[in-house]
Amino acid sequence: MNKPIAGGAGSAARLEVVLPHPRATEPRRLTRFLENERALAALLLAPTVLVLGTFIAYPFIMGVWLALSSTSVGNVGEFVGMRNFAKAWNDSIFRTAFGNTFVYTFWATIFKLTLGMWLALLLNRHFRGKRIVRASMLLPFIVPTVLSTFAWRWMFDPTFSVLNWLLYRADLITTKLPFLSDGTYGMWCAIVVNTWRGMPFFAITLLAGLQTINPDLHEAASLDGANGWRRFWYVTWPLLKPVTLVVVVFSVIQTFSDFQLIYVLTGGGPANSTHLLATYAYQVGVATGLLGEGAAISLFMLPVLFVVVWLQLRYLRRMDGA
Amino acid sequence: MRRREFLTTTGLAASVAATGLESIVAARRAPAFAQGTRLNILRWVDFVPACDVELRRQASEASKALGAEVVFEFINANDLQPRITAAIQSGAGPDIIMMLHNWPHLYANGLVDVTELGEWQGKEQGAYYAQSEAAAKDGARWLALPHGIVGLQFAYRKSWLEEVGQTTWPRTLDELRQVGMKLKKKGKPMGQTLGHTFGDAPAWSYPLVWAFGGMEVDRTGKKVVLDAPATLESVKFMQAFWKDACDEGGFAWDDTSNNRAFLAGEIAATLNGASIYIAAKRGQEKIKDEKGEPMVKDIQHGPIPNGPAGTHGYHVAFSHAVMRYGKNVKLAKDFLTWLHGKQQFAKWFEVAEGFSVGSTKYWEQHPMWERVDPPMKIYRQAAAASRMIGYAGPPSARATEAYTKYIIVDMYAKACQGTKAEDAVKWAAGELSKIYG
Amino acid sequence: MLIERTWKKWVYFYIPLTVFVVGTLFPFYWMLITAIRPDAELYRSWRAATNTPFWTLQPTLEHFRDLMAKTTFPQWLWNTFFIAVASTAISLFCGLLAGYALARLRFPMAGTLGTSIFVTYLVPPTLLFIPLANIIRTFQLGDTPWALILTYPTFLIPFCTWLLMGYFKTIPRELEECARIDGATRFGAMLRIVFPIAVPGILSAGIFAFTLSWNEFIYALVFLSSPEKKTVPVGVVSELIRGDIYFWGQLMAGALLGSIPVALVYSFFVEYYVTGLTGSVKG
């Protein structure tokens, strides 16, 4: 964190010289108005509140109304209370999707975190071609998800899978592995693709965190006789914790409400075994046209996300305070 | 600066006025619609690419004839339903949307009544197939205008079947399984999708229920009768057939996967539209069999073999719906009259080479059938022998709902993945009861 | 400082790094090889003796040519770029101002407002999808790029605000106070002192927002309809997926070409991205 501040101080110093003169030309009243913290805050927040109010608050209220009504495509529904939620809860596919969402989020996050951390530690060392390796590691994060998932689907293709070919040639298998044609395999394939896509984000962000750690600390620790693992555990990890938590929060939010990846990879099949809440909500609400039920399924995500994020943020604040 | 601005604006105004004049002149030729009127039509991306090319050509012709710009949009069939839902809910979108299966019933409240057109087409082109009516007609009201029917038959490799001693296409489902068993042992299984995909999966699952005498609901369309011995038999057959004769990757296939697998020489037979044959024929130089000969010479078609209750295909009906929110309803109707009329439809029909057949019996008599290759002739009358999803009830939005939730498909998929046949049937019947209840 | 033995360096460093590089980049290699492989080879049976999945002896640019000739791919690329830049600009503008206000100014309800902005990030898009379609209609935005430019900020602004808020907190208050003692207004100090220092943070939020808009699929699928107005992901998926032509080559060509612009943006700004993110999360 030293770098930007140092740079900033420099530019501030330069700016001081230029500062005084524009004041004279500014209209007094506006200046006084803007000196008022409340007024300035209101002004600065106005665009955000306007955009989010129009494009989130209103649709959100509409969405909640949908979830409480029997609306289906082309038909105005009536208020049915919690019936859509009850129906979803008693639906076996919903329960599968609900469970899948947790499994998917949990494992994908664990993998992204451990692999991302490992990669960050590797990238934090000096070696030839460091810059190009760092930049290329970001590639999976950049390609539009839909398109990269198509590439994975092509690699997992039941008939033309290159992975099967490889394993077959290496005499590791005698029949093709059912990558996407079996529910369990399918779920793990989705987790692998999600990990592949999300790991670079972890790695780069953690790398950023690592670079702020003073190397002297490591030197001191190694002089004290700490080996690599202990150095990581007692020196690096505590300092990285805040960064890690923030990345995990973002990742959990994105993974929990993931849609594109499953939509392209399996479409929720075979036999609904790979549905996530988002894809199932989409199938019920948008494809089948039962808008009320679809909205109810989507809404199930909100409290869960809220609790997860709240816990993480609270932990973060407590650490900040300490 | 200001002056220049002024000049450009007046210049613009002048040019606007000029186009205005032009439009008045043009109006004398094509009287119908205000200049700049645009008619948007949303269709799937056709499995026979030449068909879309032909439609684009017709669109420019229609634009001239109707005095409005006619624009086609083609998207992946699996993405059609979200587009329809969003369009109806938001009250904005394409003026005409292509409907598959019996979707018109699901979206009935968002569609313009086209009874007039439906009756006109029936008069001009002879009696509709029952399938066309079931898909798009609710009582006396036409919800959408039937366009064509995509026939689905088994495509198979003649020489491979001969290798296992089968010179004709199997007559019964049991025979099919026996042949498939021998083929799978040789590493040349049959292949079929049981995934979540719009066409091939339901077109294979529903007929199997019917072949054993099973039904989703009774004639009134109110009582779910799926949980019956007949359905159970069909599920047990599918379990055995899947294990003995099919490529088990089929769980993850979409509508295009079996086409690719077949053309790459991975599978011996698959239930599909005629697109496999047509692609093999058009790509003769690229698509070869093991001996290096064009594969198309080795492809033949056959119907779904008989079960204990005979055979009833499921051939997918296509129709064009005029959307209620549209601002150009009159224009949309005029365009459909133009496009579905004998003269224009015939052009498109010929390009399709039997992949899409007409919505009425009239098209069975078309001279194109004399010109097509012998293996394609089976599609000529295919549409007549079709049932509609939701059998034996009347066509309804509920049948469509069961279809979009892939309940029948998943009943088989579950069973083939190890669920007990009884439980799979019970599950499906339970899901249907929730829909019809 | 520490001298490692060579084998140790291999086991702990070179081998794992190689595995990471291969694992990360293999799908790209696969896209490339699929995109330049002639059709006849693409559909060879996986057991065929002549099957050479990892290379091709007759590379072809046919798929790239088809992509350019038969679809409006360059137009899609431009649309995506325009939409991504515009929505990123709007989101950065809003996020910058809101982030500053929340980090620096004292006013009632500041905490509540900050939390609620963050919570909007949690609302699942599948819920907003239909109501948003309604709004698009009300504003007559259907089938225009503005339908996306105005809806993408719904998931970009919360992120930008939050990231920049964290970043602003790391900038010492003293800098601003010095400027104000020298006679700068509050607004002027924000504009001329704080924002320039926050450039790395702004860039990193911008890059992230740009990537998210470049990626978006579902809104773009539903809110746009004319073929020439589509974005890359939607255009590629809806026009290159059909039953019986060999679309994989073109699809992969599209995927590759579709990621190059973002890759360029990243390669220029990757260091800023890193510093910006750290700044925000340390705060």
What local confidence, expressed as pLDDT, does residue C276 receive? 63
Q: Are residues C24 and C76 in the same domain?
A: no
- Is A295:A73 a contact under the CB 8 Å cutoff? no
**From CA A93, how far away is CA A294, in angstroms rounded?**
13
Q: Confidence band (pLDDT; 50, 70, 90) for A10?
A: very low
Does B400 lie at the interface with C, CB-CB under 8 angstroms? no
Q: A299-308, B14-23, B176-185, B227-236: lowest mean pLDDT where? A: B14-23
pLDDT confidence bin for A3, thresholds 50/70/90: very low
Report chain C residues touching chain B, CB-CB < 8 A: 39-40, 43-47, 129-130, 133-134, 136-137, 142, 218, 221-223, 225-227, 237-239, 241-246
Record the tokens describing residue A108, joined without a space.
Answer: 């994908």
Do C274 and C160 lie in one domain? The reply is yes
What is the model's pLDDT at position A27?
A: 60
Which residue of B lies nearest to A159 if distances are taken between CA atoms? Answer: B261
Mean pLDDT of C35-56: 74
Chain A positions in Cβ-Cβ contact with residue C211 (cut-off 8 Å): 141-142
Q: What average pLDDT does this structure show over B37-51? A: 89
In a domain, C235, yes or no: yes
Each residue's pLDDT tens digit, B147-188:
999 999 999 999 999 999 999 999 999 999 999 999 999 989
All structural domains of chain B, each given as residue ranges with its CATH number in brackets, are 22-150+316-375 (3.40.190.10), 153-313+405-436 (3.40.190.10)
With an 8 Å Cβ cutoff, is B399 touching chain A? no
Question: Nearest-CA distance from A247 to chain B in Å?
Answer: 33
Q: What is the pLDDT of residue A6?
A: 36
Task: Provide mean pLDDT across the span B327-353.
Answer: 93
Q: How many residues does chain C have?
A: 283
Cβ(B413)–Cβ(B227) below 8 Å:
no
Q: What 3 state SS string does chain B have?
A: CHHHHHHHHHHHHHHHHHHHHHHHHHHHHCCCCCCCCEEEEEEECCCCHHHHHHHHHHHHHHHHHHCCEEEEEEECHHHHHHHHHHHHHHCCCCCEEEEECCHHHHCHHHECCCHHHHHHHHHHHCCECHHHHHHHEECCEECCEEEEEECCEEEEEHHHHHHCCCCCCCCEHHHHHHHHHHHHHCCCCECCCCCCCCCHHHHHHHHHHHHCCCCCECCCCCCECCCCHHHHHHHHHHHHHHHHHECHHHHHCCCCHHHHHHHCCCCCEEEECCHHHHHHHHCCCCCECCCCCEHHHHEEEECCCEECCECCECCEEEEEEEECCCCCHHHHHHHHHHHHCHHHHHHHHHHHCCCEEECEHHHHHCCHHHHCCHHHHHHCCHHHHECCCCCCCCCCHHHHHHHHCCHHHHHHHHHHCCCCHHHHHHHHHHHHHHHHC
Q: Which two tokens stand for residue A109?
A: 């996050």
What is the per-residue pLDDT for A18? Answer: 41
Decide if B196 and A180 are in contact by the 8 Å CB cutoff: no
Residue span of the structural domain in which C14 resides: 6-35
Backbone angles phi, psi at C241, to 5 degrees: -105, 105
As a whole number of Å, the end-to-end CA separation of chain A is 19
* Strand-pair partners of A75: A72
ipTM of the complex: 0.86
pLDDT digits (tens, 9 = 90+) for C54-66: 777 788 888 888 8
Which residue matches tokens 């060579």?
A: C6
Answer whether the bond into residue A270 is a cis peptide, omega within 30°: yes
Residue C103: helix, strand or coil by DSSP?
helix
**What was the pLDDT predicted at C185?**
83
B354 Cβ neighbours under 8 A, 6+ residues apart = B151, B274, B368, B369, B372, B376, B377, B379, B380
Residue C240 covered by a domain: yes
Q: How many Cα atoms sit within 13 Å of C79 on the Cβ side?
A: 26
What are the pLDDT digits (tens) for C184-232? 888 888 888 888 888 888 888 888 888 889 889 888 988 887 778 899 9
Q: Could you tell me which residue, C267 or A5, shows the higher pLDDT?
A: C267
Task: Sort A312 into a burial class: Cβ within 10 Å, 0-12 / 13-18 / 19+.
Answer: middle
d(CA B285, CA B298): 14
Least confident range of A232-241, B110-119, B399-408, C269-278? C269-278
Residue C48 lies in a domain: no
- Please count the other Cβ atoms lying within 10 Å of the Cβ belonging to residue B12: 10
Asked if residue C100 and residue C24 are part of one domain, the reply reads no
C28, C84: one domain: no
**Out of C13, C43, C106, closest to residue A122 by CB:** C13
Same domain, C22 and C78: no
A146 interfacial to chain B (CB closer than 8 Å)? no
Chain A residues with CB under 8 Å of B251 CB are 158, 178, 180-182, 269-271
Dist. CA B53–CA B268, nearest whole Å: 31
User: C22 and C111: one domain?
Assistant: no
pLDDT band at B6 (very low <50, low <70, confident <90, very high): very low
Asked whether residue C51 is domain-assigned, the answer is no
User: HSE (CB half, 13 Å, CA atoms) of B300?
Assistant: 13
pLDDT at B323 over 90: yes
Residues 51-110 of A with CB under 8 A from C: 51-52, 54-60, 62-63, 66-67
Instruction: Give the angle subtended at the CA of C58 by the CAs of C52 and C64, to the nearest 5°.
Output: 110
Does the pLDDT of residue C241 top 90, yes or no? no
The partner residues of B321 in beta bridges, in order of sequence, read: B97
Mean pLDDT of A9-26: 43
Residue C122: predicted pLDDT: 86
pLDDT at A104 over 90: yes
Residues of B in contact with C254 (CB under 8 A): none
Smallest CA-to-CA distance from A282 within A93, A147, A151 is with: A93
For residue B357, what are the β-bridge partners?
B149
Number of domains making up chain C: 2
Confidence of residue B28 (pLDDT cuts 50, 70, 90): very low
Tens-place pLDDT, residues A240-288: 887 788 788 888 988 998 998 999 888 887 888 899 999 999 989 888 8
Residues C31 and C70 both lie in one domain? no
Helix (H, G, I), strand (E, B) or coil at C125: helix
Do C180 and C272 sit in the same domain of this protein? yes
Nearest residue on chain C to B94, judged by CA atoms?
Answer: C225
With 70 as the cut, is the pLDDT of residue C278 above it? no
CATH number at residue C241: 1.10.3720.10
Instruction: Please state, rounded to an integer, the average pLDDT across all residues of chain A.
Output: 82
Strands B38-44 and B96-100: parallel
Instruction: Note whether residue C173 is domain-resident.
Output: yes
Which whole-number Å values give the CA distances from B422 to B232, B430, B435, C112, in the listed order?
Answer: 6, 12, 20, 55
Chain C neighbours among A 221-250 (CB < 8 Å)? 222, 228, 242-243, 246-247
Residues C29 and C82 in one domain: no
Q: Average pLDDT, whole number, for chain B?
A: 87
- Same domain as C159, residue C82: yes
pLDDT in tens, B237-274: 999 999 999 988 888 888 888 888 898 888 999 999 88
Helices A37-52 and C73-104, packing angle to 10 deg: 150
Is the residue at C43 inside a domain? no
Please give the C-alpha separations between residue B10 and each of A205, B2, B16, B17, B287, in angstroms, as whole numbers: 56, 12, 10, 10, 61
For chain C, percent of residues with pLDDT exceeding 70: 89
Chains within contact range of chain A (3+ C-beta pairs < 8 Å): B, C
- Nearest CB neighbour to C130, from listed B89, B93, B286: B89
Closest to A290 measured CA to CA, from B398, C221, C138, B206: B398
Residue A20 confidence class, pLDDT cut points 50, 70, 90: very low
Q: Regarding predicted confidence, which is higher, C174 or A187?
A: A187
**Is C11 within a domain?**
yes
HEC secondary structure over C140-182: CCCCCHHHHHHHCHHHHHHHHHHHHHHHHHHCCHHHHHHHHHC
Answer yes or no: are the C-beta atoms of C151 and A52 closer than 8 Å. Answer: no
Distance CA C167, CA C148 (A): 28
Asked whether residue C49 is assigned to any structural domain, the reply reads no
Contacts of A320 (CB under 8 A, 6+ apart): A242
How high is the pLDDT of residue B31?
45
In C, which residues are within 8 Å of A303 by CB distance? none
Asked if residue B356 lies in contact with residue B318, where contact means CB atoms within 8 angstroms, the answer is yes
Which residues on neighbouring strands pair with residue B75, listed in sequence order?
Answer: B44
Could you tell me if C188 and C180 are in contact, meaning their C-beta atoms sit under 8 angstroms apart?
no
> Do C19 and C88 have their domain in common?
no
Domains contained in chain A, CATH given: 101-275+306-321 (1.10.3720.10)
Taking alpha carbons only, the member of A264, A164, A168, A159 closest to residue B193 is: A159
pLDDT of residue A102: 94
Closest CA of chain C from A268, distance in Å: 15
Question: With b meaning 16 or more CB within 10 Å and e meaning fewer, what string describes A105-134?
Answer: bebbbebbbebbbbbbbbbbeeeeeeeebb
What pLDDT shows up at residue A26?
Answer: 53
Mean pLDDT over each residue of chain C, to the nearest integer: 83
Determine the Cα–Cα distance for residues B179 and B202; give it in Å rounded to an integer.
23
CB contacts, 8 Å: A87 with chain B: 434
- Residues C272, C210 share a domain: yes
Find the closest chain B residue to A289 by CA distance.
B85
Per-residue pLDDT of C79-100, as tens digits, reads: 999 999 999 999 999 999 999 9
Higher pLDDT, C214 or A5: C214
Token pair for B45: 């991306």
Residues of A in contact with C120 (CB under 8 A): 52, 56-57, 60
Quickly count: other Cβ atoms within 10 Å of residue C19's Cβ.
Answer: 10
Would you state the pLDDT for residue A15? 38
Instruction: Report percent pLDDT > 70 for chain B.
Output: 92
CA distances from residue C238 to B60, B323, C68, C129, C250 in whole angstroms, order as listed: 22, 21, 15, 19, 12
Averaged pLDDT, A37-65:
90
Interior angle at CA A155, CA A154 and CA A157, nearest 5: 60
